[in-house]
Amino acid sequence: MIENLLHSMTVQEKAGQLNLMTGSMDVTGSKASEGMEAKVRAGECGGVFNVFTPEATRQLQEIAMKSRLKIPLLFGYDVIHGHRTIFPIPLGLSSSWNTELIQKTAHVAATEAAADGLHWTYSPMVDISHDARWGRVAEGAGEDPWLGSQIARSMVEGYQGKDLSAVDSVAACVKHFALYGAVTAGRDYNTVDMSRRSMEETYFPPYRAAVNAGARTVMTSFNDIDGVPATGNRWLLTDILRNEWGFKGLVVTDYSAIEEMIQHSTTADGEQAAQQALHAGVDMDMVSELFLKYLPDLLATGRVTEEELDHAVRRVLILKRDLGLFRDPFSRSDEARAKKELFSDAHRALALQAARESIVLLKNDGATLPLKKSPGTIALIGPLAASKRDMLGCWAAAGNDNLAASPLDGVLRSLGDGASVLHARGSDVDDSEHVRLGGSFFPQLDPRGSEEMLVEADKIAAKADTIVLVLGESWEMNGEAASRADIRLPDCQRALASRMLATGKKCILVVMSGRPLDLTWESARFPAIVEAWALGTEGGYALADVLFGDFAPVGKLTMSFPRAVGQLPMTYRAKNTGRPANDKIRYTSKYIDVPNEPLYPFGHGLTYGSFEYGAVNVDSPTMQPGGKVTVSAEIKNTSDKAATETLQLYLRDVVSFVTRPLKELRGYQRVTLQPGEEKNVRFAIDDSLLSFPGPDFNPMVEPGEFEAMVGPNSAQVKGVKFNRLK
């Protein structure tokens, strides 16, 4: 069928299948498509994004079915962390360290998206990043390539299921290929300069894991790689992705990325850009329409070949076939199924579970949390305390913020008649000069002004026994085009925090954000700090459950929180250098004003309880090639309540022919222990966990000494050594 279609198509129709246009139901870029219906009717559009609902997609699909060859449209959308039911932002979800849960959220997102007329999601974003200034860290799984790979695999499997043609399945799109998380200075759309070894050891693994999991599409990144934009980089898209990794699916550009190669100054005009992108291995052009405009002439003049063009068209048609669109182009435009699936009770229950498990307890001195529900007065104060929209975070897809639970909603429901709840805004999210001059897309400033809001907060706080302060970033302050040079809380929020601390009352800080923030000032002053990210539809209820102890926190950071922005980029997977940091020796690798270590390390997260960690042991001092050893660690619950901990396994190759990180995550286990209960937690280690890219960048294992380390986070570990034999 595919070959018969190819044989029947004109060159213009072939170019049309490679043309991806945007609708107007959402705005996700700076350029809009024009004349969509006419192009669909003429067979000059292969797919549409930012159009959803059974009604809207059916209307366009019916037009496609009246085109000469009746090739169905492909409908895509940025379903990043849920479609109608919104889950925590991906960085928050990754903090659950629960890949089974993450897979379930992806499946629910796919079920809802497919019920709402969609075939394709531009997710997962698997970019590794060590720089919290980059706004898009909100969309990823943090700093670790091993954990990022597990999450990438789970999301692909959740979206696509076992049968891509099933009506609850959508095609996954791995993005942004490649290296986009390493943009210089954490500034979106910026350049990337990286060694091949860093690519292979740190940045490539999650992309490769997603491809190996069967992801059907890959999206190019905006950045250049070794001087060549990813969208026109044949080494990346053909030599690596297709030839080395064996990817057989469709490659789509990011928004207008082909056209933007002109701005990169690697192509002179749109015609040359289209030629370079097709030759590199791009199959579908998002929004710029340069394929549609120039491919016929490029083919006629021999600057692209018919084989190149047909390969791209064939991949688009195969995806449509495998989605079942040729069999029934309207299978995902079913109003009855949409009414059943969208925002269902079961989906909301999963969103509540996901939000609970994503919350990270950063600090809890003196068992300040959980709060009691006994009679009294709680003041919920802060610019985000009553915000519903900010619970959904960036990339909220088709979520309805009116249906979201704010922190205030959650506290009111949790307490019922048990206590009095007061509320004050207290400050704007940000009232800096940049905002006042209109230099950002932040919410409009409250007309009352800073001092009036502070006075209101003072009056509310004076009536309260406990203050819960909800500060952080609005949803516009993270995600795409939301890089920040200063990742501290804005001055107006810190002024509010100072006023509340000055009351001398019990004061808990809840931080809502899409990135790790510099909380050094806050950490020195607040007895308890909760990182709540943007928790999604049910987030306010989940937050209240944690604050009042109905659910004990289990989240662990997947990205380190710095002490100062000057530490960025940073990662726990640092190498030793020839002069490792030593506070007693001046000429070593360190800062003179802050420690090298983060404020809160990768893997950190507290719970309501305490643990005692025993020795780490290995069952054999030697490991045979192809064999394994078992590392064990003792853990005891020393509290008077059941408690859950996630023990993490880190490995180090002590002597290697290339420099290696001091520790690398290679496993973890979540255990729940009753009061006083002890458990011996075991990790099996084989060659797959010791492997690393060798001289030719193929996987290899060196013989010699290794250290296995186990602990509750990357900074607090105990270790044992063993030898891997030749």
What are the residue numbers of the active site?
Answer: 254
Cβ atoms of 28 and 80 closer than 8 Å:
no
Distance CA 670, CA 672 (A): 7
Structure tokens at 70: 């009746």
- Token pair 């001091």 is found at 662
- 701 DSSP 8-state letter: -
Distance CA 679, CA 608 (A): 18
Q: What are phi and psi of 437, to 5 degrees?
A: -85, 5
Distance CA 580, CA 261 (A): 41
Contacts of 13 (CB under 8 A, 6+ apart): 43, 44, 68, 69
Strands of 498-610 (E only): list them: 506-512, 528-531
Q: Containing H/E element for 308? A: helix 306-322
Distance CA 148, CA 125 (A): 10
Structure tokens at 673: 């222990």
First and final C-alpha spacing in the chain:
53
C-alpha dist (Å) from residue 22 to 29, 313, 479:
9, 19, 20
Q: Which of 312, 336, 316 is nearest to 326 (CA)?
A: 316
CA-atom Rg of the chain in angstroms:
26
Structure tokens at 613: 């960690």
Structure tokens at 649: 């396994």
Type of residue found at 633: A
Distance CA 23, CA 45 (A): 12
- Token pair 């002109």 is found at 262
Cβ atoms of 654 and 705 closer than 8 Å:
yes
Residue count of the chain: 726
Contacts of 588 (CB under 8 A, 6+ apart): 579, 580, 581, 582
Structure tokens at 536: 């999604």
**Which letter, b or e, does each residue of 486-505 get, where b requires 16 or more Cβ atoms within 10 Å of its Cβ?**
ebbbbebbebbbebbbeeee
- Token pair 């006994």 is found at 374
Cβ atoms of 243 and 273 closer than 8 Å:
no
Cβ atoms of 130 and 571 closer than 8 Å:
yes
Structure tokens at 10: 């004109």
Cis? peptide before 178, omega within 30° of 0: yes
Q: Containing H/E element for 665? A: strand 664-673
Structure tokens at 45: 């559009």
The strand pairing partners of 225, in sequence order, are 228
Cβ atoms of 82 and 397 closer than 8 Å:
yes
Pairing of the two strands 643-653 and 704-711: antiparallel
SS3 429: coil
Q: Using CA of residue 438, residue 443, residue 444, residue 448, what is the dihedral sign?
A: negative
Q: What are phi and psi of 135, to 5 degrees?
A: -65, -25
